[in-house]
Amino acid sequence: MTKLLALLAVTAAVTVSSAAIAADVTATTETTTKATDAAGTTTKSDVKVDKAMNADGSAKTEVTKESSTDPKGLGNETSAKTTDVAKTDSKGKTTHKHKKVVNGTTTEKTTTTTAPAAAQ
């Protein structure tokens, strides 16, 4: 009976560890900076990075950066938001999307797709 319980415990541990290896993984990082120079101009930057990897080998990385510059007393703050998304499917095909919005107007928007390298 003791040997059976020990065998069941080892089997359960191997099953749990195998499931953890095959699981999807995600991570998020955020950074904020703010500074004011001698002339009173305030600059602020927020960067957020989201990464995800799936058990099937596909992956996604999204980087969002928001920045603003506000000269003291002029009331003319400018802002920009840039988003880059890279997705790789389980077969190696990668799609990259880029978008930049300045003061509410989209100034850049591109999408490129790259096929996986041919097997040699």
- Closest listed residue to residue 29, CA positions, set 62, 67, 66: 62
Reported pTM: 0.71
Question: What digits encode the pLDDT tens for the residues 53-72?
Answer: 988 888 999 999 999 999 88
Question: What digits encode the pLDDT tens for the residues 76-118?
Answer: 889 999 999 999 888 888 999 999 999 999 999 999 998 877 6
- In 21-104, beta strands by DSSP E: 25-36, 42-53, 59-70, 78-88, 94-102
Residue pointed to by tokens 């999204």: 62
